[in-house]
Amino acid sequence: MAQSAESAGSAGRNNDKMLAAYFDCPGGPENLYVKEVIKPHPGEGEVLVKVSASALNRADLLQRRGKYPPPKGASDILGLEAAGSVVGLGPGCKGRWKIGDAVMALLSGGGQAEYVTAPEGHLMPVPGGMTFVQAAAIPEAWLTAFQLLRFVGKVEEGERVLIHAGASGVGLAAIQLVRLAKAIPIVTAGTQEKLKATANAGAAAGFNYKNEDFSEKVLAFTQGSGVDLILDCVGGSYWEKNLACLSTDGRWIVYGLLSGGEVHGDLFARLLSKRASIHTSLLRSRDKEYKERLVKAFTEEVLPHFSEGTSPRLQPFVDSVHSLHEIAETHRVMEENKNIGKIVIEMPASS
Ligand SMILES: NC(=O)c1ccc[n+]([C@@H]2O[C@H](COP(=O)([O-])OP(=O)(O)OC[C@H]3O[C@@H](n4cnc5c(N)ncnc54)[C@H](OP(=O)(O)O)[C@@H]3O)[C@@H](O)[C@H]2O)c1
């Protein structure tokens, strides 16, 4: 059952109420505030999670501006991911989770609140030794990167993968997943500090798109053959450079439009001359069954690599940790492209 952000009124908080990040009118970060709302109840096959930490995504910024409404039936509270403890089970749950389990959840909304409900198949166990803050940095970014590489791009050993916005939440996850697939990650980013972070995460090469032509650099690095796969969240402004450094039969996956979606030029002719393909991908609007398959595959193939003693060992990158009451500030940090990795939001200690 989707949770409602209906106001809980001015009476003191009781067990039916909780705090959540909220906005009444679309607009800037100043519209955000913490609101007392009705606590959700788990529906058929759903689990109620007491949230310890959530994280911020570009989708939250778009939704706040009124440009990315939640899918039908989803919570109108912000937050696409959360980590916390299981505190309730809806009817029909199949026994995968029990009260007290530490979990992280992929959500269609509602994560930036003290409680959230999620289908039981959209939860994953928090890897041993990991804090809730670290775990909150995993679901949306890592499942997006995993989906792009494994389900859409079908990356293979030895392939060269160009990852734009390499120091973003998704980018730093993608670098590590490319290494896990024994392929070669190459990145772009806008500052030297960000490029350093991508190198630490495993990037074989990185180029500052602000002061060098990344396509020339990528061609030089790959000795003229180009990359087999491009993970592109930038869109319009990169199309020519992407095509210039894409290999014959290369795959170009567009999953974000940070620079806009307009293309002016002979895109089809350039694409055809390389027998290249364009794919697009959105995770949030995927149906429940698809997300269950994705979460299951990630849990089996990737999650064990977050534990100590594994090689390569994967790690979530946390840029900064903020309290729920600093929600407006978190949006400003992301909007100014300041973060390296994930911005995590902790729930109030008293909750
Ligand atoms: N399709 C999906 O299912 C899905 C799911 C999750 C996320 N996404 C998309 O994935 C992207 C990354 O998300 P995130 O939350 O990981 O982002 P993030 O951590 O906020 O990082 C985004 C980075 O992109 C770079 N950037 C911003 N505008 C740019 C522009 N015009 N040209 C080039 N680079 C630009 C900035 O880094 P620099 O300083 O390096 O420029 C910025 O810090 C977003 O576009 C998001 O919408 C898509």
* pLDDT tens sequence across 156-198: 999 999 999 999 999 999 999 999 999 999 999 999 999 999 9
**Could you tell me the two tokens for 98?**
């029990």
Can you tell me the distance from the alpha carbon of 326 to that of 146, in angstroms, rounded to the nearest whole number? 30
The mean predicted confidence, pLDDT, of the chain is 94
| Tens-digit pLDDT profile for residues 76-105 | 999 999 999 999 999 999 989 999 999 999
Listed residue (50, 41, 54) closest to 91, CA to CA: 41
Q: Is residue 4 domain-resident?
A: no
User: Considering only CA atoms, which residue is closest to atom 39 of ligand 1?
Assistant: 190
Judge if the beta carbon of residue 294 lies within 6 A of ligand 1: no
pLDDT attached to residue 5: 43
How far apart are the CA of 159 and the centre of ligand 1, in A? 23
Q: Is residue 304 domain-resident?
A: no
How far apart are the CA of 233 and the centre of ligand 1, in A? 6
Boundary of a domain, candidates 280, 298, 324? 280
* Lowest-confidence region among 101-110, 179-188, 205-214, 304-313: 304-313
Judge if the beta carbon of residue 58 lies within 6 A of ligand 1: yes
User: Considering only CA atoms, which residue is closest to atom 11 of ligand 1?
Assistant: 233
146 shares its domain with 231: yes
User: Considering only CA atoms, which residue is closest to atom 8 of ligand 1?
Assistant: 256
Domain with residue 49: its CATH number is 3.90.180.10
**Could you tell me the two tokens for 343?**
């911005």
Q: Is residue 296 domain-resident?
A: no
Judge if the beta carbon of residue 190 lies within 6 A of ligand 1: yes
How far apart are the CA of 253 and the centre of ligand 1, in A? 14
| Tens-digit pLDDT profile for residues 254-287 | 999 999 999 999 999 999 999 999 999 999 989 9
Percent of the chain with pLDDT over 70: 95
Q: Is residue 322 domain-resident?
A: yes
Q: How confident is the model at residue 9 (pLDDT cuts 50, 70, 90)?
A: very low
Mean predicted confidence (pLDDT) in 62-83:
94
| Tens-digit pLDDT profile for residues 14-26 | 789 999 999 999 9
Q: Are strands 184-189 and 205-208 parallel, antiparallel or unpaired?
A: parallel
pLDDT attached to residue 8: 40
222 shares its domain with 235: yes
How far apart are the CA of 229 and the centre of ligand 1, in A? 18
User: Considering only CA atoms, which residue is closest to atom 24 of ligand 1?
Assistant: 165
Reduced to 3 states (helix: H, G, I; strand: E, B; else coil), residue 327 is helix
Q: Best of 54, 56, 58, 215 to mutate for ligand 1, by most ligand atoms within 8 A of CB?
A: 58
pLDDT attached to residue 4: 44
112 shares its domain with 203: no
Judge if the beta carbon of residue 170 lies within 6 A of ligand 1: yes
Q: How confident is the model at residue 13 (pLDDT cuts 50, 70, 90)?
A: low
Q: Is residue 153 domain-resident?
A: yes
User: Considering only CA atoms, which residue is closest to atom 2 of ligand 1?
Assistant: 282
41 shares its domain with 109: yes
158 shares its domain with 271: yes
147 shares its domain with 131: no
Instruction: Judge contact between 151 and 128, C-beta under 8 A.
Output: no
Structural domain range at position 332: 17-138+316-346
Q: Is the pLDDT of residue 344 over 90?
A: yes
Longest dimension (CA), the chain: 68
| Tens-digit pLDDT profile for residues 317-333 | 999 999 999 999 999 99
Domain count, the chain: 2
Nearest ligand 1 atom, CA 209: 33
Judge if the beta carbon of residue 234 lies within 6 A of ligand 1: yes
**Could you tell me the two tokens for 5?**
């952000």
Boundary of a domain, candidates 254, 280, 306? 280
Judge if the beta carbon of residue 167 lies within 6 A of ligand 1: yes
Q: How confident is the model at residue 221 (pLDDT cuts 50, 70, 90)?
A: very high
Domain with residue 167: its CATH number is 3.40.50.720
pLDDT attached to residue 10: 40
Strands (E), the chain: 17-23, 32-38, 46-55, 81-89, 102-106, 115-119, 123-125, 160-163, 184-189, 205-208, 227-232, 246-254, 277-280, 318-323, 342-346
Helices (H), the chain: 58-64, 132-136, 139-146, 169-180, 192-201, 214-221, 239-244, 267-273, 288-301, 327-335
